[in-house]
Amino acid sequence: MRVAMIGAGYVGLVSGACFADFGHEVCCVDKDPGKIEALNRGEIPIFEPGLDDLVAKNVREDRLTFTTDLSQAVRNAEAVFIAVGTPSRRGDGHADLSYVYQAARDIAAAMDGYTVVVTKSTVPVGTGDEVERIIRETRPDADFAVVSNPEFLREGAAIADFKRPDRIVVGTEDERAEGVMNELYRPLYLNQSPLLTMSRRTAELTKYAANAFLATKITFINEIADLCEQVGANVQDVARGIGLDNRIGAKFLHAGPGYGGSCFPKDTLALIKTAQDYEAPIRIVETVAAVNSQRKRAMGRKVIAACGGSVRGKTVAVLGLTFKPNTDDMRDAPSIDVITALQDAGAQVKAYDPEGMEAARSVLTDVAYARDPYDCARGADALVLVTEWDTFRALDLSRLKATLAAPVVVDLRNVYRPEEMRRHGFTYVSVGRS
Ligand SMILES: NC(=O)c1ccc[n+]([C@@H]2O[C@H](COP(=O)([O-])OP(=O)(O)OC[C@H]3O[C@@H](n4cnc5c(N)ncnc54)[C@H](O)[C@@H]3O)[C@@H](O)[C@H]2O)c1
């Protein structure tokens, strides 16, 4: 099938490359000429494991192209995916749908013949209705259907998630559109990934419900971790003790500095706003969002406490800046709140991240960037592990201790074992473990 993918970011580029790899003919469109020029030079503008090879292969085999010219891409396409950003709107936390609506207008002007317009961006309930209205208003003669197909991939494992999803959600009541969606995803459901067809509004809500539930799970274990610290219990044992219960499940029960990233913070806020607008407030998610946003800065205070109550004039080394490992994405990363809290308290911050330092430069100020973990630790009065990249999991502890000015380690991801750290002579603080 011929596919146009509008927006070549984390979701659009991965989805476009994977659809091409299934054998479809995909044209990825982005309004950012720098991104498209880079892609056309064979460079990948984001860090996502395996994406460079997948893109190169499908470009070489003539199934994947890149352009800034939306109308050219849309004109020939049977399916047009909207995969543009839906960030939080400044001021009120609603999803900012201006990019989606602009894309809808541009698509309407360009489409030719029966076209399925698929919203892959995470959008509030009712957005599909509005996209349909916009297209109809722009092109009263057009033959089209608007489908919701939310994306559940995780950055850092995006290709595997797209190719082996737990499920594919398709929101449409239009039979012809359903046929097109089935055809697009055929390689996956032949592979036994369930394809769930439901109403468009239900599909839109399903995406928010999934993210809000996962955010709730993380926040739950984080609060249990705080209690563990007070009562002398171990949150990892609690997490295992409850996670092995199939009704609960072991995933998303890792206590840490609070969730961040490009999805959970904005999607929980948007769900809260939608629910309030419909007078069906979801109080549990309201609490989750409030607890999580306070937690990130509280982690800065945890570091200050580990340093004896003050970091003024001290240097703190931070390992890991991105919101999780295996991405370069800094959006809403907990490191931002931790570092800002430390700087506000008078600390100098040095940082190292395997992939995120370039993106970090535009969101953090007055941070000195290091070449590697030991360079980061050199002369520092404390080291904080914020993001659990694999390269931080097996540090040479003797070398680390000799490199630091003071042997204080705050491990916000519980990567190391407290006994081992104490044996090496560290003052070691982690999350939910005494
Ligand atoms: N990042 C994730 O892990 C993830 C996972 C699931 C769902 N989502 C959702 O997918 C959507 C996209 O997220 P993302 O992380 O890929 O965002 P992103 O910011 O990485 O990419 C969006 C791209 O769209 C482009 N764009 C915006 N308006 C355009 C237009 N009118 N025409 C052409 N290009 C346009 C931007 O230049 C940008 O490159 C969001 O709604 C997000 O919530 C993201």
- Residue-wise pLDDT tens digits, 286-321: 999 999 999 999 999 999 999 999 999 999 999 999
Query: What's the CA-to-centroid distance between 84 and ligand 1, angstroms?
Result: 4
Determine whether the shortest distance from the Cβ of 155 to ligand 1 is under 6 A. yes
Query: What's the CA-to-centroid distance between 101 and ligand 1, angstroms?
Result: 13
Buried b / exposed e across 357-378, counting CB within 10 Å, b at 16+? bebbeebbeebebbeebbebbb
| Catalytic hit among 18, 28, 263, 376 | 263
Closest-lying ligand 1 atom to the alpha carbon of residue 35 = 39
Q: Whose CA is nearest to atom 10 of ligand 1?
A: 121
Is the predicted pLDDT of residue 434 greater than 90, yes or no? no
**How big is the chain by its Cα radius of gyration, in Å?**
23
Start-to-end Cα distance in the chain: 57
Cβ pair 411, 352 in contact under 8 A = no
Cα angle value 49/160/261 (rounded, 5°): 65
What is the tens place of the pLDDT at every residue in 88-97?
Answer: 998 899 999 9
Compute how many other C-beta atoms are within 10 angstroms of the C-beta atom of residue 406: 17
Span 367-378, average pLDDT: 98
Pocket test for ligand 1, best of 6, 11, 29 (most atoms within 8 A of CB): 11
Span 380-393, average pLDDT: 98
Query: What is the model's pLDDT at position 269?
Result: 97
Q: Give the span between the Cα atoms of 153 and 230, in whole angstroms.
A: 36
Q: Give the span between the Cα atoms of 306 and 318, in whole angstroms.
A: 14
Q: Please report, to the nearest 10 degrees, the dihedral formed by the alpha carbons of residues 166, 247, 255, 48 taken in order.
A: 0
Higher pLDDT, 268 or 188: 268
Span 157-183, average pLDDT: 97
Q: Please report, to the nearest 10 degrees, the dihedral formed by the alpha carbons of residues 59, 168, 333, 28 taken in order.
A: 30
Is the predicted pLDDT of residue 191 greater than 90, yes or no? no
Query: What is the model's pLDDT at position 91?
Result: 85
Q: Give the span between the Cα atoms of 27 and 73, in whole angstroms.
A: 6
Q: Which helix (H) or strand (E) holds 23?
A: none
307 part of the active site: no
Query: What is the model's pLDDT at position 242?
Result: 98
Closest-lying ligand 1 atom to the alpha carbon of residue 84 = 24
Determine whether the shortest distance from the Cβ of 31 to ligand 1 is under 6 A. yes
Cβ pair 377, 385 in contact under 8 A = no
Q: Give the span between the Cα atoms of 356 and 259, in whole angstroms.
A: 17
Higher pLDDT, 328 or 189: 328
Query: What's the CA-to-centroid distance between 373 and ligand 1, angstroms?
Result: 32
Span 49-62, average pLDDT: 98
Determine whether the shortest distance from the Cβ of 169 to ligand 1 is under 6 A. no
The H-assigned helical ranges of 191-348 are: 200-231, 235-243, 264-277, 283-306, 334-344
Is the predicted pLDDT of residue 195 greater than 80, yes or no? yes
Could you tell me how far CA 28 lies from the centroid of its own chain?
20
Cα angle value 300/305/306 (rounded, 5°): 95
Query: What's the CA-to-centroid distance between 9 and ligand 1, angstroms?
Result: 5
Tokens of 358: 């370039």
Determine whether the shortest distance from the Cβ of 288 to ligand 1 is under 6 A. no
Determine whether the shortest distance from the Cβ of 323 to ligand 1 is under 6 A. no
Tokens of 228: 């563990």
Q: Give the span between the Cα atoms of 85 and 358, in whole angstroms.
A: 20
Determine whether the shortest distance from the Cβ of 127 to ligand 1 is under 6 A. no
Dihedral sign from CA coordinates of 102, 103, 108, 109: positive
Determine whether the shortest distance from the Cβ of 122 to ligand 1 is under 6 A. yes
Average pLDDT along the chain: 97
**CB under 8 Å to 343, separation ≥6 — which residues?**
349, 366
Percent of the chain with pLDDT over 90: 98
DSSP state of 391: G
Q: Whose CA is nearest to atom 31 of ligand 1?
A: 103
Query: What's the CA-to-centroid distance between 289 and ligand 1, angstroms?
Result: 22
Span 231-235, average pLDDT: 98
What is the tens place of the pLDDT at every residue in 114-139?
Answer: 999 999 999 999 999 999 999 999 99
